[in-house]
Amino acid sequence: MQVYEHQAQYYETDQMGIIHHSNYIRWFESARIWYMSQIGVDYRDMEQQGIISPVLEVSCTYKSMVHFGDIVEIIPKIEKYNGIILELSYLIQDQKTREVRTCGKSRHCFLNRENKPISLKKSCPTFHAAFQLAMEAEQR
């Protein structure tokens, strides 16, 4: 299980002193990029090879509040991957109490420089294999 840690910053809070809802989506993105690097798929390398992975869909369910200074663990997990579409889930929990704060999902595709959909299996077998191995490991 890969765990990405984040300490809630003051600038991320809203007028009520809690983390503004839009920041959780940013945290998902940060955790996704970090996770990809952990499994051997560096996003910068992907872009240098002419591959981008835009967001097709994102959802977030808020369970309990995160406040300034709280440290949360974000656990990304590949839910579905077929070489063309990548779906991840995210669990955000308080580092100390393990209370679930937020959970969500994101769905991505892969495009070339001309913004045409591609299959990583054909275009970049190394990245494809890394995603496959990570997904299989998480399913055990």
Angle 128-39-89 (CA atoms, 0-180°, nearest 5)? 85
Residues annotated as catalytic (active site), given as ranges: 14
Write out the DSSP string of 41-89.
Answer: --HHHHHHTT-B--EEEEEEEE-S--BTT-EEEEEEEEEEE-SSEEEEE
